[in-house]
Amino acid sequence: MTQIASIVFKPAGVDEPADDFLRVDLDEATLIAGHGIDGDLKAGHPTRQLCLLSYETLTNLRVGGAYTEPGQMGEQLVIHQMDVDNLPTGTQLQLGPEAVIEITGPRHPCERLAKIQRKPKEHFEGQAGVMAKVITGGIIRVGHPVKVLEHV
């Protein structure tokens, strides 16, 4: 079953070290329409409110030597049994019973990711996930189903 495998966020008031992504693992989070995860310092950008990665992609990256514990790729959500890297821009996903997000485009690996992972950023091209914005807010939980609604 396609489902949420991991939820993490960047908390306020905590300094992030230069050589690590500081993320807090959550069982449940509240998505806010037009914003992202409630309390997440990465939220609020018009098109980059969430970063989604595929569980299966993380497994492949781990085999290749990447550190893939929750949040260590800079993601907020990991989706099990969905190839998020190939979701077209405009695709809408329902997370759990009410939240809806829309894919805004691919995530492009940055120098910080490369530095933290100790691999060139090109290593992550095409497998860095996608960015999304929150269309309809709601509570999401690890284990909640994820389904494709439409392509806008």
Tell me the pLDDT tens digit for each residue of 45-82: 998 999 999 999 999 999 988 888 888 898 999 999 99
pLDDT digits (tens, 9 = 90+) for 123-136: 888 899 999 999 99
Q: What is the CA angle 68-11-41, rounded to 5? A: 95
What is residue 59's predicted lDDT score, i.e. its pLDDT? 94
Mean pLDDT of the chain: 91
What's the average model confidence in pLDDT over 108-116?
85
What is residue 152's predicted lDDT score, i.e. its pLDDT? 56
Q: Which of 17-26, 101-110, 127-136 has the least mean pLDDT?
A: 17-26
pTM of the model: 0.92
Q: What is the CA angle 43-48-49, rounded to 5? A: 35
- What domains are there in the chain, each with its CATH number? 3-151 (2.40.33.20)
Measured torsion, CA atoms of residues 25, 29, 31, 37, in degrees rounded to the nearest 10: -30
- For residues 24 and 32, the model is more confident at 32
What is residue 58's predicted lDDT score, i.e. its pLDDT? 93
What is residue 151's predicted lDDT score, i.e. its pLDDT? 64
DSSP 145: B
What is residue 67's predicted lDDT score, i.e. its pLDDT? 85
What's the average model confidence in pLDDT over 77-102?
97
- For residues 69 and 143, the model is more confident at 143
At 115, is the pLDDT very low, low, confident or very high (cuts 50, 70, 90)?
A: confident
What's the average model confidence in pLDDT over 16-41?
89
Is residue 46 a contact partner of residue 113, using CB atoms and an 8 Å limit?
Answer: no
